[in-house]
Amino acid sequence: MADAALNPQSEWVRAPERGNNFWLRVMIGITRTLGWRAGHVLLYPITAYFLAFSPRQRASARQYLDRALGRPARLADLWTLYFTFAATILDRVWLASGRTGDFSITVQGLDALRARVEAGQGCLLFGAHLGSFEALRAIADAGCPVEVSILMHEANATRVKAVFDTLGGAGRAAAIIPLGSPDSMLRVREVLERGGLVGLLADRAPAGQRLHLADFLGHPAPLPTGPHLLAAVLGVPVLLAFGIRTGTRRYEIIFREFAERVAPAGRAGREAAVAASVEAYARELEAMCRAHPTNWFNFYPFWQAP
């Protein structure tokens, strides 16, 4: 399939993730010994450092901001984007361990999710590298009666699991389902069968995944079809879920209905239905990016087919 060539499997994709985890460890160390205020003060030099010394990421960020804002991005926009990114990493230290007491978290669209949960209907939650997916854990901690799992790429899963182990204990670690094993999707199915929720980030394609070019902020971007195919095979409803950082220790969690069924059961017409679903996701993501332009954390050439 020609689409297979469109894989963003370059240093670009992995580099931000690596830096991200290094800084997460630094943040955990500092905030544990010196507290939140010290961590927060450090965000300024950290933001300045990354803004100054990551010209390639900066070029990608600028291209994204130009398109999301609909005007040429200014230095202030880039600063806010980088600062927001650093701040979500700092906040993760608290959010990942469920210590949300000092945060102001509002939730939009919870009714749609609650109806499903109460009916015992398993759902997939599609997120993106937009804001903080960890903020969604606040829902689990606020007495969500069903299990919440997150499906993620194996290498990241190992690192994130280590962080969760440090912060929150074994119960949280168990909620991560690593991709890349033949039975990964069997685990997803079993959580959904028990009426649980499985979250995944649907905007980046891990190595080897199939992609579909969908219009995003006015230009075709390669997006993974895997999440949509998974929803089609399982025949479960999909909701969109984002944890948007709206200010200092302020988050807005947004749930949106996405699709009752991504594609009909059986393989006939599935490919077209999956492609249409990817395009619908791209439109929803685009609207979120226009509303919250500085929550975007894909610091690589998002539109480029490498």
Partner 1 sequence: MSMMGTTVAAEPDLVLEADLARLIVAALSLEVAADDIAPEAPLFGAGLGLDSIDALELALAVSKAYGVQLRSDDERNHRIFASLRSLAAHIAGHRTR
Summarize as ranges the residues that interact with partner 1 (CB under 8 A): 179-190, 208-209, 226, 229-230, 233-234, 267
DSSP string, 158-204: HHHHHHHHHHH-HHHHTTEEESSSTTHHHHHHHHHHTT-EEEEE-SS
All residues at 6 or more sequence positions from 222 whose CB lies less than 8 Å from its CB, including other chains: 6, 7, 8, 205, 211, 212, 213, 303, 305
| Nearest-approach distance from CB 146 to partner 1, in angstroms | 18
Q: Which CB atom, from 62 or from 189, has the smaller least distance to partner 1? A: 189
CA-CA distance, 251 to 33, in Å (whole number)?
A: 25
Euclidean distance between CA atoms 26 and 9, whole angstroms: 27
- Closest approach, Cβ 277 to partner 1, in A, equals 14
By C-beta, is 101 or 182 nearer to partner 1?
Answer: 182
Nearer of residues 175 and 188 to partner 1, judged by Cβ: 188
User: Nearest distance from residue 182's CB to partner 1, in Å?
Assistant: 4
124-163 as b/e: b if 16+ CB within 10 A:
bbbbbbbbbbbbbbbbbeeebebebbbbbbebbbebbbeb
| Tokens (6 digits) for 282 | 């791209």
**Residue closer to partner 1, measured from CB, 43 or 274:** 274
Least distance from partner 1 to the Cβ atom of residue 229, Å: 6
Least distance from partner 1 to the Cβ atom of residue 189, Å: 6
Q: Contact, 54 vs 18, CB < 8 A?
A: no
- CB of 68 vs partner 1, minimal distance in Å: 31
Consecutive H or E run containing 124: strand 123-127
| Nearer residue to partner 1 within complex by CB, 153 or 292 | 153
Of 5 and 186, the one with the shorter C-beta distance to partner 1 is 186
CA distance 198 to 76: 36
